[in-house]
């Protein structure tokens, strides 16, 4: 279970509030989509949860562990078990798509594997399966510098899945993908949420959010104004977008 209480974040010398009193509980297997107008705090919330930005205040517990009070152990848990996917995927441009998936992020991979690039055959097959599922089998041996933005994003998603991420935080992960590929990615994530207990918190366009989310958060002025089960939003709720 993930529990957040009173999360707040302000920026700049004038301390302009971006997030104000955010609170929620999440169970394994939920697919949460953040909605809201530009500047409502969606990306900032994802970065705070991924520990990419410091919180000004708030409580953060994962499976009973107080992340902020447990010092390095709590942060290590987040770095290892959570995957944060930005709009521009963080990949090594000099490695192939397959190697990026296999080697993973530094926080997920033993030092010997980072240094040697050696992998087990089972890991190799698992990576190829994920790339195939995301329509990238023919791109596996290409360097990621040769791929489009949408293809690089799919490589990042495959990497998170191969390395057993329990939580995926994704900022507009299907931007730049054609509709069929985007739906394939979201269907895969939704299936994993149901079958493996993967938790996803992401930002998506409204049409896709209403189709794939199990839970919708509508942010306004840094607060969760609506927290509803995945469904078509009412006219009143859409006014906040």
Q: Quick one: pLDDT at residue 41?
A: 93
pLDDT per residue as tens digits for the range 31-81: 999 999 998 999 999 999 999 999 999 999 999 889 988 878 888 888 888
CA distance 152 to 144: 6
Q: Is the pLDDT of residue 18 over 70?
A: yes
pLDDT at 117: 56
Task: Please tell me the predicted confidence (pLDDT) of residue 106.
Answer: 47
Instruction: Give the pLDDT confidence score for residue 107 in this predicted structure.
Output: 46
- Taking the C-alpha atoms of residue 183 and residue 208, their distance in angstroms, rounded to an integer, is 8
Q: Please write the tens of the pLDDT for every residue from 117-157.
A: 555 666 788 899 889 888 899 999 999 999 988 888 889 98
Average pLDDT (96-115) is 67
- Provide the pLDDT for residue 102: 87
CA dist 149 and 237 (Å) reads: 32
Task: Give the span between the Cα atoms of 113 and 116, in whole angstroms.
Answer: 5
The superfamily CATH assigns to domain 2-238 is P-loop containing nucleotide triphosphate hydrolases (3.40.50.300)
219, burial (CB in 10 Å: exposed 0-12, middle 13-18, buried 19+)? buried
What's the residue count for the chain? 241
Q: Look at the alpha carbons of 173, 177, 183, 184 in this order and tell me if their dihedral is positive or negative.
A: negative
pTM of the model: 0.86
Q: What would the pLDDT profile of 170-202 be if each residue is shown by its tens digit?
A: 999 888 788 888 888 898 889 889 998 999 999
Average model confidence (pLDDT) for the chain? Answer: 88
Per the CB < 8 A criterion, the answer to whether 6 and 57 are in contact is yes
Q: Provide the pLDDT confidence category of residue 213 given band limits of 50, 70 and 90.
A: very high
What are the sequence ranges of the domains in the chain? 2-238
The pLDDT confidence band at residue 115, using thresholds 50, 70 and 90, is low
């Amino acid at each position: 279970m993930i529990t957040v209480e009173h999360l707040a974040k302000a920026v700049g010398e004038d301390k302009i509030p971006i997030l104000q009193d955010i609170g929620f509980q999440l169970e394994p297997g939920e697919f949460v989509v953040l909605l809201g107008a530009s500047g409502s705090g969606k990306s900032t919330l994802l970065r705070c949860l991924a520990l990419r930005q410091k919180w000004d205040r708030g409580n953060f517990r994962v499976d009973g562990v107080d992340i902020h009070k447990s010092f390095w152990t709590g942060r290590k848990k987040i770095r290892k078990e959570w995957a944060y996917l930005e709009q521009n995927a963080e990949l090594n441009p000099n490695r192939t798509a397959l190697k990026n998936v296999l080697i993973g992020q530094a926080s997920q991979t033993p030092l010997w594997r980072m240094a040697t690039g050696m992998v087990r055959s089972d890991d190799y097959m698992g990576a190829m399966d994920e790339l195939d599922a995301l329509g990238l089998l023919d791109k596996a041996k290409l360097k990621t510098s040769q791929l489009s933005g949408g293809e690089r994003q799919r490589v990042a998603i495959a990497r998170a899945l191969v390395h057993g991420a329990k939580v995926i935080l994704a900022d507009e992960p299907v931007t730049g993908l054609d509709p069929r590929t985007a739906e394939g990615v979201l269907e895969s994530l939704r299936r994993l949420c149901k079958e493996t207990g993967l938790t996803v918190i992401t930002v998506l366009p409204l049409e896709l959010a209403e189709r794939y989310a199990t839970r919708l958060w509508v942010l306004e002025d840094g607060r969760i104004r609506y927290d509803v089960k995945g469904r078509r939003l009412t006219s009143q709720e859409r006014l906040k977008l």
